[in-house]
Each structure stands twice: as C-alpha cells, then as structure tokens.
Structure 1
Amino acid sequence: MKKLYHLSTCDTCKRIINELELPSEVVLQDIKTEAITNEQIQEMHQLAGSYEALFSKRARLYKERDLKNQNLTEEDYKNLILEHYTFLKRPVFIHDQQIFVGNSKKVVAEAKEAIHG
C-alpha cells in the first residue's frame, strides 16, 4: 500500500508532496475532508510502534487544552487523533510496510529514498 495522509490547507504538506514527486499509485487522503478511521489509525500504530509517535504536540489544541501537563496514555493519544485531525503529526506516508511520520528533513529524505530508491 502507498498512501499519504495530509492536510490540503497545510503549506508544509503541499511542499513535501511536491518534493516527494509521488507516483500516481499513491493515494492521497486529506484528513480534514476524509476523517481518519479506527482501522487506519490502528494500521499506522502497527507500523509506527505507538500512538504517541503519530501525535502532534505542536497542534494548537494541544496547547489550548493544556495537554502537556496531563499524563496521556497511548489510548488518549489514539482517541485525540481520532477526535480531531490536527492531532495527527503530518504528513504520514505509508510505503508498503514502512511509515514516515512528520515533516523533518530526515523523514522526508527517507520517504523520498523509499519511493525513488
């Protein structure tokens, strides 16, 4: 499977999509218009190893809800991501059995290498 979860209104996501030069078989899912399902988050979890790895601590709601001062469990991270798309660290790219989470230069370079060899 080749899939990219992104936010179409996010300039960083747009830049990374352009940079990755995605092949046509990659399915793009705008998480704002097509919510992440329980099955999808479980698949991401299986590849990433934890829900926390998929969670964005930079989300505005993270600060607004003062979540940094709470003891969040894996279940909390999962439920927050399912509750609101901004809690997913973006973009998330799945290439076969590899997952690339976030927008760091290293992650983007690794994703590009996986796509183009």
Structure 2
Amino acid sequence: MILYGISTCDACKKALKTLERAGKEVAFRDIRANPLTQAEVDRIVHEFGDQAVNKQSTTYRSFNDFLKASDPEAQIMAQPTVMKRPVIQDGDRWFLGWDSATEAALTS
C-alpha cells in the first residue's frame, strides 16, 4: 500500500496512523520531498479526474488564470501540493481523501 501526501498534512498523518494501527504495511510517499513522475500524475488523474486537484486550497487559489484553466496533470506537475490528499494505492484499488468509507474499506 502506498500513501501519497505531504508530511505536514493532518489527513495524511491520521490515515497513516490508522492504517499502521490496523496492521497494514504502508509506504508513505512525501510528494514534496520526492516529487511525482509524469506517469504517476497521469495515473492519479486517470483514476480521479479533476477531483485529484484540491480547488479549495490556498495553492490552487494562488494559481494564475492560465494555470487554473490548465488540465489537472499540468496543475499537479506545476505544484504537487495542489493534489487532494491523501491518495492511497492499495494494489489495483485507489482512494482519494480520508473519510469513514475509505477507512472502512482499507482497515476491514
């Protein structure tokens, strides 16, 4: 299982702690320290479309009009922290964000 996020993200910390407590082996990938490749960004956007971008974030709101009008891949490649977090890959299953449904699916 891979959890993509940033080390300062509260949702990422909570997800990581909960998954580890449930006995899951989780590799944490800090996308700020270890940026995503184009192929990884393409895969995430393929799974989630424009939902992969957190349009409520300060990062997104600071984008210029050109970048806001760009596709999600370009937005995430330009500023990885605009990606909604966490993104969790569990084999062939992908999850976006951390809520009770995601927690139940990954810890049961």
Alignment TM class, shorter chain as reference = 0.7 to 0.9
Preserved CA contact (<8 Å) 2:53 2:72: yes
Question: Structure 1 stretches of 5 or more lacking a match?
Answer: none
Q: 1:58 aligns with which of 33, 56, 59?
A: 56
Preserved CA contact (<8 Å) 2:5 2:86: yes
User: Identity over aligned residues, as a percent?
Assistant: 25
3-state DSSP class of the match of 2:36?
coil
Question: Structure 2 stretches of 5 or more lacking a match?
Answer: none
Preserved CA contact (<8 Å) 2:52 2:96: yes
1:1-117 superposed matches below 5 A = 2-21=1-20, 23-24=24-25, 26-48=26-48, 50=49, 52-65=50-63, 72-73=69-70, 76-103=71-98, 105=99, 109-117=100-108
RMSD: 2.0
- Output the CA distance in 1 between the equivalents of 2:36 and 2:57: 17
Moved over 6 A (4+): none
Alpha-carbon distance, 1:63 to partner: 1.6
The number of equivalent residue pairs is 104
- Output the CA distance in 1 between the equivalents of 2:7 and 2:17: 12
